[in-house]
Amino acid sequence: MSFWDFSKLLYDQDHVASACLSLQDDYGLDVNLILYAYWFGEAYGEMSPSVLQEALEFSAAWNAKVVQALRGARRWMKANSATLPEPTGEDFFQLRESIKERELAAERYQQNTLQLLAERAEPSPFADDSLAAAAHNLKLLTQACRVKMDAKLTGAFERIDQAFVRIQTG
């Protein structure tokens, strides 16, 4: 399954979106990299530090320069619509919707690029347990991002883990 399709499936499960957004807002973690850790665990097993480093370098630049710029514009429009001269005009809503679509396209591009990085990486020992592999990948991610494990972080990962297991057992 492609990373994009996997991400949509996992993200649409109960409590995953809120857990991911909490990890993004409270810890600064990139939602696409969180989902990547799970997908990689399912598709390839345990991620090597070099694979994660390449994913982090690409994602940090892409997220900062493209995704966040689009998200910032969309959020600014929403937060400031009442102060604009024509906030309810059709042009305003079309523009905001267009920015939202471009933001989603930018995230899809990021995921497609991350999938290509995974496909060309050196094979790693495949773990029989994809949940354990995903946990390994998440540990590498949080360590690389200098995020300290705490109860809130663990709880968010547990909610995603439960959804991950549900989609595996179908």
118-165 pLDDT tens trace: 998 876 766 678 999 999 999 999 999 999 989 999 999 999 999 999
pLDDT in tens, 75-99: 999 898 878 776 667 888 899 999 9
Residue extents of the structural domains in the chain: 3-169
State residue 168's pLDDT score: 86
Reported as half-sphere exposure (CB side, CA atoms, 13 A), residue 33 has a value of 28
Residue 66: closest CA among 113, 23, 25, 104: 104
- Residues 100, 25, 136, CA angle at the centre, nearest 5°? 105
Q: Tokens 């909490």 appear where? A: 22
Name the token pair of 125: 């020992």
Written as six digits, the tokens of 18 are: 């809120």
Percentage of the residues of the chain whose pLDDT score is greater than 70: 95
pTM above 0.85, yes or no: yes
